[in-house]
């Protein structure tokens, strides 16, 4: 199975957490020896997120992510994760990269859930 087939293997109904599409500012680093990179998400859930990157990230690579929730007065969320997939999008000329979150503490999980619920509510009301 090639990398593209592998990324399509998980159908939305198989996901543990519902995702919401949103563009959020994030920074990430793959190790202490590298400066953080800044990018944006295009979908996020309690269990992970998808973001755009300028380089392909290795599958199962540990990653540290900082997420700035738009319009939220709370501090930036810091989450450890692992790269699940990374594939090139020729239209965007960037990589679409999936991250699974690891070790999310209760406060961060609650904060992220509140944000996701708010986005769903605003979309249901036709405001987004």
Domains, the chain, ordered by start: 3-124 (2.40.10.220)
Burial tier of 66 (Cβ tally within 10 Å: 0-12, 13-18, 19+): middle
Is residue 75's pLDDT more than 80? no
- The β-bridge partners of 94 are 89
pLDDT in tens, 25-52: 888 998 777 788 999 888 888 899 999 9
Four-residue CA torsion sign, 70, 56, 14, 100: negative
pTM, two decimal places? 0.75
Which of 16-30, 35-49, 79-93 has the weakest average pLDDT? 16-30
Mean pLDDT of 20-28: 74
Tell me if 40 sits within 8 A of 28, measured CB to CB: no
CA distances from 86 to 45, 55, 57, 127 (A): 18, 9, 6, 32
């Amino acid at each position: 199975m090639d990398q593209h087939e592998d990324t399509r293997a998980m159908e939305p109904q198989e996901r543990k957490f519902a995702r919401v599409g949103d563009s959020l500012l994030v920074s990430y680093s793959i190790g202490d020896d590298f400066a953080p990179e800044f990018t944006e998400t295009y979908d996020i859930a309690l269990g992970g997120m998808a973001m755009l990157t300028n380089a392909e990230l290795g599958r199962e690579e540990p990653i540290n992510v900082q997420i700035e929730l738009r319009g939220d007065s709370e501090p930036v969320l810091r989450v450890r994760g692992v790269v699940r997939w990374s594939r090139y999008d020729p239209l965007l000329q960037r990589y679409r990269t999936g991250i699974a979150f690891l070790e999310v503490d209760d406060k961060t999980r609650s904060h992220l859930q509140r944000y996701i619920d708010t986005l769903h509510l605003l979309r249901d009301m036709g405001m987004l």
